Amino acid sequence: MKSSSPNIRWSLGRESWLGMPLVLEAGFEVIRRAMESWRGWHTHEGFEMDCVLEGRLDFSFGGNESLIVPGGHFILIPPRRRHEVYQNLVTPCRVFWIAFAPGAARSCRHTPFPSEFLRKTRQRLLDAGTRPRRAGKEIVWTIEQLHRLMVATEAAPTDSLATQEIRLLFSHLYLQTLRRLESEEPPQASGIVERTRRFMEENVGARTDISCIAREMGISRSHLSRAFAREVGYTPADYLRRLRCAKAKELLLATALPVTRIALDLGFSSSQRFAEIFKTYTGMSPTACRQRAVRFVLPHLCAGTER
């Protein structure tokens, strides 16, 4: 399926034409430009599964808690957990999302699952945690088939066979997600990864590289890279660049420090290299970022002062 495929969003649940309480909503989106926020702060009554088919998405859960989901990976977000989604990269992003409600009344309706099975698997989803997981070919294939049917039927199918096929695919996706959780190996390096993240955040401006950080953690660079990518969904080098760009954005908006000074203070080899990386992650140059703040933020602040 090409990235030009149309976007679509279905609000479902017990009262919808699908008559399948297990699925509250589902949709696809193709994001073609960098943006501050894709969906804004929101929650769901069910377990939200977000599968990034192409590109990358950034998830924020408030405070300093965030994670990055690269293409070919998905995350599960438990019910009523507040979060926000960003697409800060220039590369296009294709994403599928669905909200499962195994604890809903009559959630087994139009599924092959008994109520007891859904009750037990709800606890399994709660225990799974929120971290990127590789989707695998089977999950991606099921999602692509769902997209094909959802686009073909648009609002609601008039063909009863299409309705049955959609119900089966949603059920199949739920089962595949559970199988993926059961087949994964438990993380072995959570402590190292968390210490690495803290070290990067505390030394964001240090002139260091991943080999030095790995030595500081007492493991090899290859071991650190594999563990970090498995648990965070991003390589250590990319994560460090992202931290530096986030800090640079704060300094650009909150201070009058020259761009070159910010670049060097944050460990970049030159202002040119900084500008190149900053534009890759934010979609704009450091100068444009600062000018945008002057153009849009300061007038609002002044207006608030006058009132």
User: What is the per-residue pLDDT across 278-294, written as a single tens digit (0 to 9) for each?
Assistant: 888 888 888 888 887 65
Q: What angle do CA 171, 176, 181 make, to 5 degrees?
A: 130
The DSSP annotation for 143-209 comes to HHHHHHHHHHHTT--S-HHHHHHHHHHHHHHHHHHHHHHHHSPPPS-HHHHHHHHHHHHHTTTSS--
For the stretch 206-251, pLDDT in tens is 888 899 998 888 888 888 888 888 777 778 898 898 889 888 988 8
For the stretch 162-171, pLDDT in tens is 888 999 999 9
Spell out the domain ranges in the chain: 8-183, 190-306
List Cα–Cα distances, 6 to 13, 18, 43, 241, in angstroms: 23, 21, 25, 33
pLDDT at res. 3 = 37
Burial 10-43 (b: 16+ CB within 10 A, else e): bebbbeeebebbbbbbbbbbbbeebeeebeeeee
Residue written as token pair 């088919």: 53
Mean residue pLDDT across the chain: 81
List Cα–Cα distances, 257 to 17, 168, 217, 237, 242, in angstroms: 57, 58, 33, 25, 20
Cα–Cα distance measured from residue 32 to residue 52, given in angstroms and rounded to the nearest whole number: 14
Q: What angle do CA 85, 83, 131 make, to 5 degrees?
A: 80
Q: Which of 118-122, 155-159, 288-292 has the lowest mean pLDDT?
A: 155-159
DSSP H or E segment with residue 41: none
The model carries a pTM of 0.63
Superfamily, domain 190-306: Homeodomain-like (1.10.10.60)
pLDDT at residue 298 is higher than 80: no
Cα–Cα distance measured from residue 217 to residue 32, given in angstroms and rounded to the nearest whole number: 38
Strand order in the sheet with 133-134: 8-13, 20-31, 93-100, 47-54, 73-77, 133-134
pLDDT at res. 302 = 47
Q: Which of 55-59, 188-192, 253-257 has the lowest mean pLDDT?
A: 188-192
pLDDT at residue 22 is higher than 90: yes
Q: What tokens were used for 229?
A: 């990518």
pLDDT at res. 91 = 61
Cα–Cα distance measured from residue 33 to residue 46, given in angstroms and rounded to the nearest whole number: 28
Estimate the crossing angle of helix 210-217 against helix 190-202, to 10 degrees: 130
Superfamily, domain 8-183: Regulatory protein AraC (2.60.120.280)
Beta strands in the chain (DSSP E): 8-13, 20-31, 47-54, 56-60, 66-70, 73-77, 84-86, 93-100, 133-134
pLDDT at res. 72 = 86
301 CA to centre of own chain: 31
DSSP 284: S
pLDDT band at 85 (very low <50, low <70, confident <90, very high): confident
pLDDT at residue 88 is higher than 60: no
